[in-house]
């Protein structure tokens, strides 16, 4: 039986085998089935992506700047809606605790990411979040130890330490692989985005989320936050 294109088929060959009897030298035919190895069909990829999840076709780096009140805004987040993006391999991110400070101040991750929260300070910490996004209370844990959490749904978690009220950070979980955090000059870059038009969202600490649209050939991409 022929195999066409990528279709996986199972080929079964029928072979006649002669078994010789020891008494009279006669031969009795016996049918033996020999099965060829099965080749699995390749699964179709999501539109615009390869089977491994990397974008297929032309991509771009979406580069821009975020301003608030006309001034560059640091630690702001921009992300693009991408409902057809395939799942990512399991990922890890780190929200460190050092010198009575969370680092980074703003951490953005894709939904499904495991976030490590190591205590690299010299004192105990008790990290918690009771508002909006993922809610948790990690309890007291000493220097040199770590806790971990999976951020399994979109949302913004405001993170604090129950012992040190001056410590604060944000973990934003988004359901897209295309996101970035702005630097001290308000600049950001979202890497390897398939070319096209997108709905974007932007947020800064203490502000509200805004939504807009951006074309793939728009450069530089400028975002104005209230």
pLDDT in tens, 150-176: 999 999 999 999 999 999 999 999 999
| E strands in 6-104 | 12-20, 27-35, 59-68, 71-72, 77-80, 92-94, 96-98, 101-103
Instruction: Assess whether pLDDT exceeds 70 at residue 49.
Output: no
- The domain locations on the chain are 59-225
Which among 76, 56, 153 has a CA at the least distance from the CA of 110?
153
**pLDDT of 56:** 58
Q: Give me the mean pLDDT over the 39-56 stretch.
A: 41
Q: Give me the mean pLDDT over the 104-124 stretch.
A: 97
Handedness of CA 117, 139, 134, 114 (dihedral sign): positive
Instruction: Assess whether pLDDT exceeds 60 at residue 2.
Output: no
Specify whether the CB–CB gap between 65 and 186 falls below 8 A: yes
The structure tokens listed for 224 are 């104005």
More confident residue, 136 or 15: 136
Instruction: Give pTM, 2 decimals.
Output: 0.75
Which among 100, 82, 73 has a CA at the least distance from the CA of 177?
82
DSSP 121: S
Q: Give me the mean pLDDT over the 63-67 stretch.
A: 96
Give the CATH number of domain 59-225. 2.60.40.420
For 3-34, the pLDDT digits (tens) are 344 433 333 333 333 333 344 444 444 433 33
3-state DSSP of 169-195: EEEEEECCCCEEECCCCCEEEEEEEEC
């Amino acid at each position: 039986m022929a195999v066409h294109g990528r279709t996986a088929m199972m080929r079964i060959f029928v072979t006649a085998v002669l078994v010789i009897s020891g008494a009279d030298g006669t031969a009795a035919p016996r049918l033996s089935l020999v099965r060829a190895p099965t080749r699995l069909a390749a699964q179709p990829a999501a539109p615009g992506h390869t089977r491994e999840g990397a974008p297929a076709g032309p991509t771009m780096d979406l580069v821009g700047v975020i301003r608030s009140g006309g001034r560059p805004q640091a630690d702001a987040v921009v992300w693009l809606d991408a409902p057809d993006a395939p799942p990512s391999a399991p990922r890890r991110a780190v929200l460190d605790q050092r010198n009575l400070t969370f680092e980074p101040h703003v951490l953005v991750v894709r939904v499904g990411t495991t976030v490590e929260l190591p205590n690299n300070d010299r004192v105990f910490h008790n990290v918690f979040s009771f508002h909006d996004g993922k809610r948790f209370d990690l309890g007291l844990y000493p220097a040199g130890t770590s806790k971990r959490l999976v951020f399994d749904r979109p949302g913004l978690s405001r993170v604090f330490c129950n012992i040190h009220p001056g410590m604060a950070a944000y973990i934003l979980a988004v359901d897209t692989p295309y996101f970035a955090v702005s630097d001290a000059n308000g600049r950001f870059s979202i890497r390897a985005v398939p070319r096209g038009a997108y709905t974007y969202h932007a947020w800064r600490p203490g502000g509200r989320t805004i939504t807009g649209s951006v074309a793939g050939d728009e450069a530089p991409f400028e975002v104005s936050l209230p």
